[in-house]
Amino acid sequence: MPHSPAVQPLGTLVALGGGDDDAMLALLCDMLPKPGLPVEIITVASRDDTRSARAYERALRELGCVGARHLRISEHHPADAPDTLRRLRRASLVFFSGGDQERITDFLLGTEFLRVLLERYQQEPDFIIAGTSAGAAVMPEFMVVEGYGWRALRKGGMLTSNGLGLLPRLLIDQHFVERGRFGRLAHALLAHPMCLGMGLAEETGVIIRQGRHAEVFGDGVVMVVDGRHLTGSNLGRIGRGEPVSGQNFVVHLLVAGQVLDLHSRRVPDTEEV
């Protein structure tokens, strides 16, 4: 099972649904207490990791984050290398790029690197972890790794796996509106009914402060699907390839500036936050 924070974390997570991430990068630079602080870019999700890292280094430095550097983790660069861990302990911001989220977990689950990342996220108020696309989907306790179109609404047509465990009882799906992923997220909640599902449109994301308050930013919509009161699930009674069923999903559509309380699963009035 993934590691899950035992107490309310002090750090901040920023997750984007993919697409053009210029606005997110500018937001991250503005969130840093000082522009020269160390920013570590992790592109392990991409097989062309060096090219992707160069583009992010250039973009962040142009925005004033002069401490942005590529922290390479790959087949030949283990996450627990002493210099890699040293840089992780100094970083003010750790950014995960897009690609294949399973590559992130393949290289990080069970490592000292992940233990240090979680510890800093839990204990340090100024520490920021950010990710776009796959880098966003990998953050919670679970992640959706397969599921396409109508097949996602048939048993066996959707698959989840362990994420990094930064956010317990949560699923984040990316490119959500553009790739028609409601079906696979709903199916994932049938498999994990105590989880909250969060579908991020491209160029749209959330800033999650202290593991609780998720503020929407960007030009699109965040769809939140709550399966906590789910009834009528047939998942345990049907065979592979048969259509799935469930009732009483609760759905919210949220736009920039709105805040979701991840504990109560409500959208409180501004004065309540």
Crossing angle of helices 22-31 and 49-62, in 10° steps, is: 60
How far, in Å, CA of 125 to CA of 143, rounded? Answer: 25
For 89, the token pair is 């302990």
Whether 133 is a known active-site residue: answer: yes
pLDDT of residue 270: 52
Domain extents in the chain: 12-261
Catalytic residue among 175, 187, 203, 233: 175
> In 3D, which of 201, 202, 216 has the Cα closest to residue 262?
216
Counting as low any pLDDT under 50, the low residues of the chain are 1-5, 271-273
Q: Edge-to-edge strands of the sheet including 128-132?
A: 68-70, 39-42, 93-96, 128-132, 12-16, 204-209, 213-218, 259-261
pTM score over 0.85:
yes
Catalytic residue among 52, 92, 133, 233: 133
pLDDT of residue 3: 45
- Over residues 220-230, the pLDDT tens digits come to 999 999 999 99
Whether 175 is a known active-site residue: answer: yes
Residues across the chain:
273
Catalytic residue among 40, 141, 187, 202: 202
How far, in Å, CA of 3 to CA of 162, rounded? Answer: 9
pLDDT of residue 16: 98
Pick among 3.30.70.580, 3.40.50.880, 3.40.50.300, 3.40.50.720: CATH of 12-261: 3.40.50.880
